[in-house]
Amino acid sequence: MTLKELIPISVEELKIKTEGHKAWGFGSFDNWNLNQDDGQLIFSNDDGTRAVAPAQIIGSYDYDNGTWKWAWANETIQDHLKEHSNIVRQWGEDNGAGLLTNDEIYAEESDAWDFVAIAVKLCDAQCAYRGPVNDRTAIFMTFGSPQISRATS
């Protein structure tokens, strides 16, 4: 399979998975946080409702520069959070896909979504999330099965 063939298949799978996760409230939480020490992605609402899932960082997107940087090339990310990005990199090396093997590239945000969709597909992740860090940077992550805790009245 080529990268050109893998992208639409991966994007479609991510769309389907994202729709399924809306059943527990994915996309409607007030806050998010990623704990790099334990690799837990935490979604929370001010009422105490939480969803916690194991996560992997795939890369980051810089809106000012229009660049994508792979997690495997980012020294600020702990190694245990780079496993999925390394799998994507290996697929890129095995299949001659330079977009997946260059540390940092010029890209559109839609390309970042393609990359994280590929990671969801290749790593059999549950879904993906784009976490805004500030006005100019976002982290793209895959995540596993969430544990939901509802607020009690």
pTM equals 0.95
**One-letter amino acid of 109:** E
For the chain, domain boundaries: 3-147
pLDDT at 53 over 70: yes
Collect all residues with Cβ–Cβ distance below 8 Å to 5 and sequence separation of at least 6: none
Q: Is the pLDDT of residue 113 over 80?
A: yes
Q: Do 137 and 60 contact (CB within 8 A), yes or no?
A: yes
| CA pair distance 44, 51, nearest whole angstrom | 6
Task: Give the pLDDT score at 150.
Answer: 84
Write phi, then psi, for 102 (nearest 5 degrees): -90, 130
